[in-house]
């Protein structure tokens, strides 16, 4: 752009208009989060309904889901909301801190550990069959984040308890089944108990269309690549700040730093629900919906190498398929 054109745009006000539109675009992108992720939308009563189909493992990957461990808790310095390095088999500062507290033998320390244990969530590729709140999502491929409740329903479909029930692979294009996601608000929290799988049927009748969907899927392995996680040192710095051990981990002017230091002198009660409400409602719901991983002999606390209670044995179904 020439200087003369710059001056011309200034006189016409077009440059200001462009800047405003760009800011609106930035705000829209930042508030919308990850465009790859699909989320059900609740109606005015707090209930939600949609029909989705879990998709097979992406090309070159073994499993149709990926597990992610995270921590979400409040300390004197604010909130700690981070993915855990234990997801990729590495040491995590919160896990080590929890282990120290648990082994102290102090009941108060154990209560703190219970409130800041790691949470388990899953990600899978899905095809949106029906989304009454957002019909434009229908026929599209997204990533879907879900917790143990839904994962248990998937496992129950693959490994039914009774001999008169036929096992299905929900992730199969041809012999899988649509998942009717039914969400109710019970005591202020989302409840998925009424969600269920439909009868097995092919997702689409056209194999070429199915192949096109398969090629649109997002890599799950990439989500847990090492470069997607903060380093141990970065997480330790954040943990120290949240626990009030050290000053702010980022550069700030003196006024803001003084305010943070004043906040650091405040010691909240970790059992106080009123303080938890300071977290944005949607984020708090997500944290509450996620299950704590395992019991109190979980590797997150004791350092045991055994699998946690909530892990189950998701590989057993695929092992049976391989053997057959």
Convert the pLDDT of each residue in 285-323 to its tens digit.
555 555 555 443 344 443 333 333 333 344 444 444 444
* pLDDT, position 63: 97
Radius of gyration in angstroms for the set of CA atoms belonging to the chain, rounded to a whole number:
24
* pLDDT, position 187: 86
Could you identify the residue written with the tokens 């690549």?
A: 225
In a domain, 10, yes or no: no
For the entire predicted model, the pTM comes to 0.70
SS3 128: strand
HSE at residue 3, side-chain half, CA atoms within 13 A, is: 0
Instruction: Say if strands 119-130 and 48-54 run parallel, antiparallel, or are unpaired.
Output: antiparallel
In a domain, 201, yes or no: yes
Phi, psi of 227, deg, nearest 5: -75, -5
Structural domain count of the chain: 1
**How many whole angstroms separate alpha carbon 122 and alpha carbon 147?**
6
Contacts of 201 (CB under 8 A, 6+ apart): 177, 178
Structural tokens at position 77 = 């310095």
CATH code of residue 83: 3.90.198.10
Residue 190 belongs to domain spanning = 48-323
User: Would you call 192 exposed, middle or buried from its count of C-beta atoms within 10 A (0-12, 13-18, 19+)?
Assistant: buried
Contacts of 229 (CB under 8 A, 6+ apart): 83, 85, 87, 88
Cα separations (Å) of 265 from 53, 75, 277?
49, 11, 20
Q: Which residue positions in the chain have pLDDT lower than 70?
A: 1-32, 247-324
In a domain, 11, yes or no: no
CB 235 within 8 A of CB 92: yes
In a domain, 32, yes or no: no
In a domain, 306, yes or no: yes
In a domain, 35, yes or no: no
CB 309 within 8 A of CB 294: yes
Structural tokens at position 183 = 């969400």
Q: Which residue intervals of 217-298 are DSSP H helices?
A: 232-242, 254-264, 273-276, 281-289
Cα separations (Å) of 289 from 28, 113, 165, 192?
26, 18, 29, 10
Could you identify the residue written with the tokens 């029930």?
A: 165
In a domain, 39, yes or no: no
* pLDDT, position 246: 74
170: left (phi over 0), alpha (psi -120 to 50) or beta: alpha
In a domain, 25, yes or no: no
**How many whole angstroms separate alpha carbon 166 and alpha carbon 177?**
12
């Amino acid at each position: 752009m020439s200087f003369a054109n710059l001056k011309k745009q200034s006189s016409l006000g077009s440059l200001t208009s462009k800047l405003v539109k760009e800011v609106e675009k930035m705000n829209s992108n930042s508030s919308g989060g990850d465009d790859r992720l699909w989320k059900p939308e609740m109606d005015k009563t707090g209930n939600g309904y949609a029909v989705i189909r879990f998709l097979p493992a992406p090309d070159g990957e073994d499993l149709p889901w990926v597990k992610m461990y995270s921590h979400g808790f409040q300390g004197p310095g604010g909130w700690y909301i981070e993915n855990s390095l234990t997801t990729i088999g590495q040491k995590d500062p919160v896990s080590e801190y929890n282990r120290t507290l648990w082994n102290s033998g102090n009941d108060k320390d154990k209560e703190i550990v219970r409130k800041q244990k790691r949470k388990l969530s899953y990600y899978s590729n899905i095809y949106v069959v029906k989304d009454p709140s957002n019909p434009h999502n229908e026929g599209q491929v997204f990533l879907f984040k879900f917790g143990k409740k839904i994962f248990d329903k998937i496992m129950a479909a693959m490994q039914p308890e009774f001999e008169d029930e036929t096992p299905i692979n929900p992730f199969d294009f041809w012999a899988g089944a649509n998942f009717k996601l039914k969400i109710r608000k019970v005591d202020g929290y989302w409840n998925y108990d009424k969600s269920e799988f439909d009868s097995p049927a092919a997702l689409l009748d056209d194999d070429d269309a199915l192949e096109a969907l398969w090629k649109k899927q997002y890599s799950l392995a990439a989500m847990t690549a090492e470069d997607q996680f903060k380093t141990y040192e970065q997480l330790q710095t954040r943990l120290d700040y949240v626990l009030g051990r050290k000053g702010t981990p980022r550069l700030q002017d003196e006024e803001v730093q003084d305010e943070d230091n004043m906040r650091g002198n405040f010691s909240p009660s970790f059992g106080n629900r009123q303080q938890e409400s300071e977290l944005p409602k949607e984020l708090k719901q997500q944290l509450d919906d996620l299950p704590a991983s395992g019991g109190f002999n979980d590797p997150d606390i004791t350092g045991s190498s055994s699998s946690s209670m909530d892990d189950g044995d998701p590989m057993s179904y695929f092992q049976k398929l391989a053997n057959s």
